[in-house]
Amino acid sequence: MAEGTDPRGRAMTTWLGLNAGHDDPRTADQTALALYETLLFHAQVVCVHAVEDHHAMSFRLTDDPSENTVSTLIERGYGVAVHNGSLQRLAGPEQLARGALRAALAHRDRKEGRALRFPGQRSLRGRYGVSDILAFSAIDEVLPHGVQSVDARGDLQPRFINGKLVLSL
C-alpha cells in the first residue's frame, strides 16, 4: 500500500485540528501560517475556525501526521485532534482538545472555517474572471453572483459555507 492511500489505492485524507485558545483571529492566522510554513508544509488546506469564544485551526493532510509532529504540537501546548474518517487521536489539555476536534470536524464537513491556504491560491495574482477562479482553484462559488472578475492579490480568504468553499467580495 502506497503512503497516503487506503487498501484500495485511493488517496486518504486526514484532518488535523489544533487549538491554543487564541482570542484574536489575527494571532490564530499567524500561528496557522507559521505552522504551515514549518511543521505542516504538506497541508493542502489551512483554516481558522471560531470555536466557542476563541479561534482554532485545522489542516487537511493527505496522510496522518507523524508521531513526532503530534508530540511536538502537544509539547507546545496545543489541543490536538487527528481525524481520518474515524477519530485517531485526541490529546493535550482537555478543553483545547475538544475545540481542536470541533475545528477538524467543521473542516471535514466543510461547514465552517476561513481558508488561509487552499489549492490554486498561489496562481491567483492579479485580476481574474470568476470562471477562471472556479476552474483553477478550490473555490466553489463567488458571491455576490453576477460579479465578472476579481482582483486577486494572493490574499483571498474564502469560507466554508454549506459544503462549499465560498469567496465573498
Same domain? For 93 and 143 the reply is no
Same domain? For 26 and 107 the reply is yes
**Low-confidence spans in the chain with pLDDT less than 70:** 1-11, 154
Same domain? For 88 and 144 the reply is no
Same domain? For 34 and 67 the reply is yes
Here the cell at position 168 is 465573498
Same domain? For 140 and 105 the reply is no
pLDDT at 153: 74
How many domains are contained in the chain? 2
pLDDT at 154: 62
Specify if 63 maps to a domain: yes
Domain that holds residue 161: 121-168
Specify if 1 maps to a domain: no
- CA 101 – CA 16 distance, rounded (Å): 8
pLDDT at 86: 83
Distances, alpha carbon 62 to alpha carbons 27, 49, 95, in Å: 26, 20, 27
Same domain? For 98 and 135 the reply is no
Same domain? For 113 and 126 the reply is no
Distances, alpha carbon 95 to alpha carbons 7, 110, 151, in Å: 35, 23, 40
Same domain? For 53 and 103 the reply is yes
Same domain? For 23 and 82 the reply is yes
